[in-house]
Structure 1
């Protein structure tokens, strides 16, 4: 029990109490208990701030009685003033601790803890399938205006070669935690695909969602591209295996991701 008059005894008890609290808070059986603990901890920070301030005052008030081990009073007074300055700095830092703990308690008070935790939402990433701009994008933007975004997504899905596209995105760093968009971009989704487009800047992009359940691992080394023939819109087009490389028949990049 605190004595309220013996600082050394009460300091010892406070130290033991904090040691016990540090041990007890390693595990919370009921997370709702954190709010009550935060409240008591906040009160403790206020008291600690007062204690530090009073320790600083004691050092400066009694500095005339301070000596070093050799009996030098001037040296003792200098050390007393140094201790006062450090304690004042500590008190200022405790003010910041109080403010942050107070904000944490306010946020904690807005939590309604449920007995049965909800299942964690699956984390997904987005793989860039194709990015077109300039004249290459105009065709898709025309499809959007004429036939709608679903038709544009179906058109761009022809660039998706499945695992090959995924591996190319990994190699080139075109895998995103969130869909990359600009402030003026429009975004729409259809199934696993998300289309972003911007008429003013003249670019379109198609991304495919990669669920958490499907691991993404970049290949150890990249094999040379293989020539293949892809039929799109009643014409045969030869493209490199890397859809993100610039087209050989156009100065504008085709299939370049963000």
Structure 2
């Protein structure tokens, strides 16, 4: 905690706090938090400007006590005046930093951050491996009646040429979001294959599950995240600081096959 009385202790603590902030700000889980951080940094720049002014004043007002290592007071006073000039120049440069950070905060405060887009996920569709009618279908229907659907699926899986079958189905439009079935069709699944068959209409179909990656819908609505805008509150604190630089702050920040 700051002492508000011991400059060396508070300077060390400020240095450690900035080192922690540099580490913590490598990643923001919520980008809306950048607004609150900018507000605190703006206050920090203002305080740093004040510190530099006060350091410069201390050097110039105590120059009569300044000596070099050999005890030469004239040389010591010269060094004190040189340090004062450099500190005053640094303080003046901070005015530009303050202006830029303030402008960045104003722009950041106008941002409504949206949730991150969902990662594209796997989508299962169905690829037509083979569709049989007539005598060809009757032969498979006979296998189903005699040996069962698992044997029929194993038999029809011989038509599956893997990627070649997939590409042919994609080119010809024989890929389905749901398994195409009629009112009287029977359906059974074994592994990646689904068999549909109909004794009355005399047809048999084998489809294979096909997993692909679908890009997220760019037009899909997403929840709107409204950023925190504590500017008015901070401005009041700024006005107090300008009235009394030495007033102790009560808190650092409240923000934070074939077709069917």
TM-score range, shorter chain: 0.3 to 0.5
What is the TM-score of this pair, normalised by structure 1?
A: 0.45
- Higher RCO, 1 or 2 (CA under 8 Å, sep at least 6)? 2
Higher-Rg member (1/2): 2
